């Protein structure tokens, strides 16, 4: 998630979401560290005695979601999102995708397959043309 801020600095909401998801996939599938995400894997595997670790990891994920939500809120106020789009729900959708990619990467899914899933998600964000 180190690239979250850079991704959210993109000029449009669509570009920010695309950069966020693509950089997430790239990081989750990089060959220089274990696949997946410590925040997801560690947060789900904690014993009750280590609940504090799970809480810290959850707080990190929540902070990232808040950053995405803030960017989408700005996009909504600038007219960069279609009228009526719930920017909070959209932020949660983006995070659910990213977190799901983390689970799939840890299970062995490759970068190409996950990037294909990003392509599909982006199509869902593009309004239909008249």
DSSP H stretches of helix in the chain? 4-8, 13-28, 38-44, 51-77, 87-106, 111-125
The reported pLDDT for the residue numbered 130 is 47
Question: Does 65 have pLDDT greater than 70?
Answer: yes
pLDDT digits (tens, 9 = 90+) for 5-46: 889 999 999 999 999 999 999 988 888 876 666 556 655 666
Lowest mean pLDDT among 1-15, 42-56, 68-82, 100-114: 42-56
Model-level pTM? 0.86
Whether 27 and 1 have beta carbons less than 8 Å apart is answered as yes
The reported pLDDT for the residue numbered 5 is 82
């Amino acid at each position: 998630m180190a690239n979250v801020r850079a991704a959210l600095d993109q000029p449009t909401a669509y570009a920010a979401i695309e950069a966020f998801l693509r950089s997430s996939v790239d990081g989750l599938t990089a060959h220089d560290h274990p696949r997946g995400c410590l925040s997801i894997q560690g947060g789900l595997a904690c014993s009750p005695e280590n609940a504090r670790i799970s809480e810290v990891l959850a707080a990190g994920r929540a902070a990232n979601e808040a950053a995405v939500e803030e960017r989408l809120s700005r996009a909504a106020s600038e007219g960069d999102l279609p009228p009526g789009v719930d920017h909070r729900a959209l932020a949660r959708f983006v995070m659910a995708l990213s977190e799901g990619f983390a689970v799939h990467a840890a299970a062995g899914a490759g970068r190409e397959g996950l990037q294909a899933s990003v392509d599909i998600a982006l199509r869902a964000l593009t309004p239909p043309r008249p």
